[in-house]
Amino acid sequence: MGRKAGALYINPKKFGATAKPCMIEMVSFLNCLALNKQNDDKCVRQKDLLVACTQAQKGKPKNAAKTINYHLQRLGRDKGL
């Protein structure tokens, strides 16, 4: 199932498979919090791994040509919307 924006059909499944950096670290941190009743003192290792991963991602610029918003804006300009 997709969404229609005017006459434009968007397939959300196509964009769901994109790389999700730090997903493993975030899931492990959230699982640790769930197991320890939201006590982050017991999840220091997972928290440090997540912070290190997010800090490493800061310097990497996103490729704007691959985002769905870029394509929607580009197509909107072509139609004069």
Q: Note the pLDDT tens digit of each residue in 12-36.
A: 666 565 567 888 999 999 999 999 9
Range of the domain at 49: 21-57
Q: Does 1 fall in a domain? A: no
Higher-scoring residue by pLDDT: 41, 64: 41
User: What residues form DSSP beta bridges with 5?
Assistant: 8
Q: Does 81 fall in a domain? A: no
Q: Does 48 fall in a domain? A: yes
Question: How many other β-carbons are positioned within 10 Å of the β-carbon of residue 28?
Answer: 16
Q: Residue 81 in contact with residue 6, Cβ under 8 Å? A: yes
Residue 22 has which token pair? 């730090």
The tally of domains found in the chain comes to 1
Q: Does 76 fall in a domain? A: no
Q: How far apart are CA 49 and CA 47, in angstroms?
A: 5
pTM: 0.54
User: How much of the chain is in helix, strand and coil states, percent to nearest 5?
Assistant: 65, 5, 30
